[in-house]
Homo-oligomer: A and B are copies of this chain.
Amino acid sequence: MSSAKSGLQHTSRSRQTESANQKRAQIVESAAALFDQVGYYPTSMDDIARAVDLAKPTLYHYFGGKDAILLGIHEEFIDLILSKRRERDEAGGDDISQELYEVMFDIFELMRTHRGHVRVFFEHHRELPEGSHESAAAKRDEYFRLVRRLFEIGQEKGELKGDPELSAMALFGMCNWAYQWFRPNGRFTTEEVARYFHSLLLHGIAA
């Protein structure tokens, strides 16, 4: 009886946690869209509360302030892109050209699926809550190292030339900058741009 009861309590607690997680995710998503459209500074906690249809005190129950939501956006974004890379890294794909393509495609896909997150992620590091900068930077650094490593492996295998650090910066520049111009329903799909930039990275555009 007691074990059945605690089982029920456990289930009910899990459900509560699940529902709280869903609510947090919803807040992060709506805030990301607002920050993207209106800007981080001009958006108030009132605006966010209104967007997710919550009373302001309830919003504060989930997030202690706007910077805490900003951190939520950062973490969701970096965790997503990092987990994609780690998975592929562990799968140990040894076709370096294909691995590079997948890095580029992942970034473009996030620009399509997490549009609101992207601008915020790139433009608002310094507004993150005090004490969170280091762990956020650590994840960004891990991601950068995983990608630079691909260029190093390519060089060790004799497939790539040049400086792995600068090549990684060129890749990130081409892909990340697209948040300034890429439109999901424009002339090119995410896949087309990723393929074009991948080919340019490897072979250039000299005829």
Contact = CB atoms under 8 A, between A and B. Distances in A.
Contacts of A97: 206
A5 interface: no
Q: Is the interface of A mostly helix, strand, loop or mixed?
A: helix
A188 interface: yes
A152 to B, nearest CB: 12
Interface residues of A, number: 43
A172 interface: yes
Interface stretch (A70-78, A131-139, A162-170): A162-170
Interface stretch (A14-22, A85-93, A194-202): A194-202
Contacts of A62: none
A60 interface: no
**Which of A159, A165, A201 has the most chain B CB within a 10 Å cutoff?**
A201
A81 interface: no
A197 B170 contact: yes
Given A177-B177, A201-B204, 15 more contacts: A39-B126, A97-B206, A160-B205, A161-B205, A166-B196, A167-B200, A167-B205, A169-B174, A173-B173, A173-B175, A173-B177, A173-B197, A174-B177, A203-B204, A203-B206
Interface of A: 39-41, 97, 122-123, 126-127, 151, 158-163, 165-167, 169-170, 172-178, 180-181, 187-188, 193, 196-197, 199-207
